[in-house]
Each structure stands twice: as C-alpha cells, then as structure tokens.
Amino acid sequence: MRTQDGGHHDAAVAALAAREYERAGDEYTRAAWRVLADPREGGGPFDEKGWVGAGLRHLVVAAVAYRVAGRDGRATRRGVEGVAVARDLRESFDRPVQQACFAEFVADFRVVGDLDGAEAAYEDAAAAYREAGDAVEDPSYWTTTPLFQAAAAPLKQVARGPADGEIAVDWDALHGSDPSATGDFLAYRADYKRRRFPGLVERVVDDGYLAAPRGTTEYDNANHECPACGSTDVNWAGDDVLCLRCSTPVERT
C-alpha cells in the first residue's frame, strides 16, 4: 500500500529497527498528516477506495510507538486527534460500509490512546457493519480495499512482536466464516478487535518492543544474519532489510 507519505513511513520503520520509539511515533505522525492531506497523486482524499485510510493507519501506529516509548501523553493526543479525524471522514463518505470502517478506526484510536469507551466504540462499529450488510453485494471486495486494509494493518503489526515476527492475524481470522451473511461477516472485524487489540497493545507496551510491519519475507536467507538473535529469516520493510524475528537490521554474510 503506497501513498504520498514523504518518506516518513520508511523513516518510521528505520526508527523501530533502532528501538527509537519516540522518533518512530514522530515519523508515523508526519506520515499520517501527509497522507491525510493528499493520499495519492492524481486523486483526492475522498476517492472511492479510501486511500486516506493509510493516514489513519499511521496515526494509530504512532500512538502505539509513543506508548512503547513511555510517552503516554503524546499517545493520548494522537488518540484524541485520530478519533476526531476518523469521525470527520466518516461524514465525508456516502457508503455505509465505509462509514462503519471509520467507526472501527474510532475504536482503535480509543485503544491506542488509552481513552475511555473503546469497548462501546467497537460495539458501535459492529452494529454499523451489520446495518450496512444489506447494501453490500460482495464483502470480500470491500475488505481488500485500501481503507479496510489500513484498518487491519496496525493490529497485524502489533501482533507480530508477541508472535516471533510471524503473521498472527490473517484475513480469515479477522472476518467471520460465512461471507454470505454479510453483516455478521463484516461485524466480526470489530468484535475480533474488541477481544484482542487492547491486550496486544498492553503486551507490546509491557515488552517495550513494537515490531516493524511485515513486508517481503524470506526464510533461511543465505546472505543475511541477524546480529541480535542469529536468525537468517529476513523481512524487507521500508528501506531496510530487517530480521523477521526481532526487527533488527541484519548483516550481510
């Protein structure tokens, strides 16, 4: 998912690799504001597929990075800002299914900002998805659009650390088992996050470690080795080649 973030996303990933979490929060924040203003060349922030969601994604991860850095006040401010922006964007999109996704983002911001009302916000999002279901012919189309992928990305990234860098939340886990029951299929996203996201955020905060996002990966790479843990499983993320396991920059062998 590539947007016009001014290179700040890659800088944020580099800061995560260096364990400089406040700097990562700063870079994610800068990426967020750039994308929210002008997501992609030739298109405005209100395009049909919701590329502007990538800006909200960066703001969610910024708040987590600040929490890991022990800068809870800054995380709270990102959460408050994110709630306001997501609510405003919800009013700017006409499709109920997209409006429900922005409601999902509101709940995410309440979690990462350590704000009250996260559980109720997820319940509101789930109800909005169920209500929107009757107007959606193909839920799989919507869940693969940039907006919905952006809403799933922070959860997936946060879950990687406790899972030794593996994919801990895949597409099937995030959705219901029956796409024909459209409303429930989509609402499962919000219900799943309500159950899992707060605990995962608390886990990475307690561990003091936020993994880099998963990019292109390779197991048993013959040319690289992690100087921290010795793994030869690699993750091409941002501008760097990182250890798949611990997000440390790897060394060539």
pLDDT in tens, 199-210: 999 999 999 999
Is 238 part of a structural domain of the chain? yes
Judged against a pLDDT cut of 70, whether residue 1 lies above it is answered with no
Closest among 170, 197, 17, 204 to 111, alpha carbons compared: 197
Residues 201 and 235 occupy one common structural domain: no
Q: What is the pLDDT of residue 171?
A: 87
The tally of domains found in the chain comes to 2
Q: What is the mean pLDDT of the chain?
A: 95
pLDDT in tens, 158-216: 999 999 999 999 988 999 788 889 999 999 999 999 999 999 999 999 999 999 999 99
Residues 166 and 248 occupy one common structural domain: no
Residues 203 and 252 occupy one common structural domain: no
Rounded to whole angstroms, how far apart are CA atoms 244 and 222? Answer: 14
Per the listing, tokens 């580099």 go with 14
Range of the domain at 251: 215-253
Judged against a pLDDT cut of 60, whether residue 141 lies above it is answered with yes
Q: What is the pLDDT of residue 134?
A: 87
Give residue 112's identity as a one-letter amino acid code: V
Q: Is 23 exposed, middle or buried (0-12, 13-18, 19+ CB in 10 A)?
A: middle
Interhelix angle 53-68/146-160, nearest 10 degrees:
20
How big is the CA angle at 172 (ends 79 and 153), to the nearest 5 degrees? 30
Q: What is the pLDDT of residue 2?
A: 82
Residues 107 and 229 occupy one common structural domain: no
